Chain A
Amino acid sequence: QQPVQSPQAVILREGEDAVINCSSSKALYSVHWYRQKHGEAPVFLMILLKGGEQKGHDKISASFNEKKQQSSLYLTASQLSYSGTYFCGTRAGGTSYGKLTFGQGTILTVHP
């Protein structure tokens, strides 16, 4: 079952912030975040493991709330290069080689 991402689309001006959420009905072992530019392959951003840790990557960070089975991706002081589609991928708990299931994606557009 696919995780659910919200919102489906976000439009920002350069310098504004955004939050993208990813929710699952299953107990999660890890959450992956990827960004995909139009016509290109998805590119890895970060992985969060159960334990509620928060990670950062330049001005992009993410958190993982194990109790709610939810992850959030935070984009601060957005740049034009942040435009693209963001996907969360989730691995359910209990298996070392579990399937990575992706959400439907959130389209982020940053305008000058």
Chain B
Amino acid sequence: NAGVTQTPKFQVLKTGQSMTLQCAQDMNHEYMSWYRQDPGMGLRLIHYSVGAGITDQGEVPNGYNVSRSTTEDFPLRLLSAAPSQTSVYFCASSYSGQGHQPQHFGDGTRLSIL
């Protein structure tokens, strides 16, 4: 049982490049989400999904796209990377359970935009 798996663990991009951060979970969780973590800002929600085919925006969605074609996968796409998107990105998943359920986090992707 791997839990939540994020790839890659580290990535360096040039301004304007695009890339996809991968997130997969094997716990059959309905709810998945992406956060970015910057010093002093805590964890800020980018996008989230309550099930396959359903996604919605969080607090800081600009510059990011998501899709949820399967229960297991929830990739995050950076359309045109900007230095302001340098951050640590965490994917998390949980059962939907009306807010009762803990979120399980992946190990994070450390992304630098030059």
Size range of the chain B interface in the assembly: 20 to 34
A96 to B100, CA, bound (A): 9
Number of A-B contacts (CB under 8 A): 62
The smallest beta-carbon distance between B103 and chain A, in angstroms, is 6
Cβ contacts under 8 Å, B48 to chain A: 99
Contact A30:B100 (CB < 8 A) given known A41-B107, A102-B44, A104-B40: yes
- Cβ of A41 and Cβ of B100 under 8 Å apart? no
The smallest beta-carbon distance between B94 and chain A, in angstroms, is 8
Contact A100:B103 (CB < 8 A) given known A41-B90, A41-B108, A42-B90: yes
A98 to B31, CA, bound (A): 10
**Complex interface residues of chain A between 62 and 112 (CB less than 8 A to chain B):** 87, 89, 91, 96-105
- Cβ of B45 and Cβ of A100 under 8 Å apart? yes
- Cβ of A42 and Cβ of B99 under 8 Å apart? no
Q: How many residues of A contact B (CB 8 A)?
A: 25
- Cβ of B90 and Cβ of A104 under 8 Å apart? no
B41 at the binding interface (Cβ < 8 Å): yes
A43 to B100, CA, bound (A): 16
A89 to B104, CA, bound (A): 13
A42 to B91, CA, bound (A): 11
Cβ contacts under 8 Å, A98 to chain B: 99
- Chain B positions within 8 Å of A, measured between CB atoms, are 31, 33, 35, 40-45, 48, 50, 58-59, 90, 96, 98-108
